[in-house]
Amino acid sequence: MPPPPDLILTPAGPAPAPRYTRHHSPGAPAPAHSPGSPAPARAPRRTPGAAAPVNPYLRLFTLPGARAFTLGNLLARLPMGMFGVSAVILIAETYGSYALAGAVGAAGLFAGALTAPWIARLVDRYGQARIAVPATVHAVLGRLVLLLCASAQAPAWTLFATTALTATAPNTGGMSRARWAHLLKDAPDAKAALHTANAFEQAADELCFMLGPVLAAFLCSALFPGAGTLVAAALFLTGVLLFAAQRSTEPPVAPRTTGRSPLRAPGMPALLAVFLATGAVFGAMEIVTLAYVDGPAAGPVLALQAAGSCAAGLAYGRARRSARLPGCLAAMAALMALPLLAALTGSLLALAGALLLAGLTIAPTMVTGMTLVQRLTPPDRLNEGMTLAVTALLGGVAAGSALGGWLSEHAPTTTCGYLAPVTAATLALLLCLATGVGRRERERKR
């Protein structure tokens, strides 16, 4: 049961010390006060014999309201791993074309990339609940219209037109990260705690993208091609309503302290270019794997990549130090070659293992990149800054999806499609090295 909301950390006044401040480092008790040293932060009395949680993830959820908003957000994020796979299966089943399915998915992602920063700007200006709920309702209606058009085998142009209606979906992951930043900003170990929170959020993303494709593939094959879209729409709306209802943890609307867009922050354009190339890795890998496996096993096989990323993200969140972005991207570029090599063998088991290993580099890369975004973005535009990063990722996913779909259908073999994620990962690494993204910011902090 979540702690009472009246203990929530707020930006006004001195930050209360309950629950979080009694831990100065994971697994270590608060240091004793010695004469001549500054007085430690006041902490609440402990019940004799009560042990404090030493796991950094457990410590996060001692914050009042954290469990409640996380549950709603997880329900809202699960459909993000379902919508894409459901649409690909539906369109490929009814129209018989993976190229069309990839192109429609790319169009939807491109439309979302255009509207997402504006939705995030409204969230920063008016609050999460006031904007997220109507935006979600509009996006869900768009999904239902797309389902009707595809089921009726309407002309292909109607699929491109109706998928644009789904572009108002709010960035639920960004809103959750903004809540963590708000709750943890006055914690004495705020940097370490925020690193753990970002790792948890990335692991949650990967968990949703691990379970989502499996659930979508099962529903579409066991029931009917549109079942995945219907269930995803219901979960999305329910999750956002539950998340928005947790008003005690919602970051307050802060007055603007700067008129500068996060896009103009030094280092941000270069970082967004890296995110764009990284997104192409994910988009290409998804549709190429769906085309290569081409059956009910596609969802579970694809989910293994997310499983590897989820495990790596949880381990990365417990680490005391974060890696550098170039190193993460170099590891990603190397391991993304494994699915290509496995596909050449023709073994589905080898491909599954290769995807699991390739996924190990995803979460550390994304956590490191998102942490840079938070450092570069003005506090009053945090939702907008993180949404710009997600927008760049979506733009890359759209390009990778379209390229992967085209290669899967027109290349000599579907195995050639796995060249796309390898190329995109290499491009992301080269962009990072060429622009020095993150290096200038790290040097300024020194």
Q: Tens digits of per-residue pLDDT, 375-396?
A: 887 766 777 777 788 778 877 8
At 282, phi and psi to the nearest 5?
Answer: -70, -45
* Residue type at position 182: H
Mean pLDDT of the chain: 77
Instruction: Give the range among 99-113, 223-237, 253-267 with minimum mean pLDDT.
Output: 253-267
Q: What is the mean pLDDT of residues 221-244?
A: 89
pLDDT at 258: 53
Read off the pLDDT of residues 13-45 as tens digits, 9 standing for 90 and up: 444 444 443 344 444 444 444 444 444 444 344
The angle, 0 to 180 degrees and rounded to 10, between the axes of the packed helices 66-77 and 172-184 is 160
* Percentage of the chain exceeding pLDDT 90: 10
Token look-up 């890998």 returns: 285
Greater pLDDT, 299 or 49:
299
Greater pLDDT, 242 or 267:
242
- Picking from 28, 22, 21, 30, the residue whose alpha carbon sits closest to that of residue 54 is 28
Neighbour tally for 234: CB within 10 Å: 13
Q: What is the mean pLDDT of residues 354-371?
A: 86
Read off the pLDDT of residues 183-217 as tens digits, 9 standing for 90 and up: 877 766 767 777 778 778 877 877 787 778 778 88
Read off the pLDDT of residues 288-316 as tens digits, 9 standing for 90 and up: 888 888 767 776 787 788 788 878 877 87
pLDDT at 80: 82
**What are the chain's domains?**
64-445 (1.20.1250.20)
Greater pLDDT, 167 or 28:
167
Read off the pLDDT of residues 114-154 as tens digits, 9 standing for 90 and up: 887 788 778 878 888 888 899 999 999 989 998 898 888 88
pLDDT at 259: 57
Query: What does the angle CA 432 – CA 433 – CA 436 come to, to the nearest 5 degrees?
Result: 75
What pTM value is reported for the model? Answer: 0.65
Question: Is 83's pLDDT higher than 90?
Answer: no
Greater pLDDT, 64 or 275:
275
Q: What is the mean pLDDT of residues 331-340?
A: 91
Q: What is the mean pLDDT of residues 50-59?
A: 64
Region at 157 (left for phi over 0; alpha for psi -120 to 50; beta for the rest): alpha
DSSP three-state, residue 40: coil
Q: What is the mean pLDDT of residues 310-336?
A: 81
- Cα(356)–Cα(303) distance, rounded to whole angstroms? 8
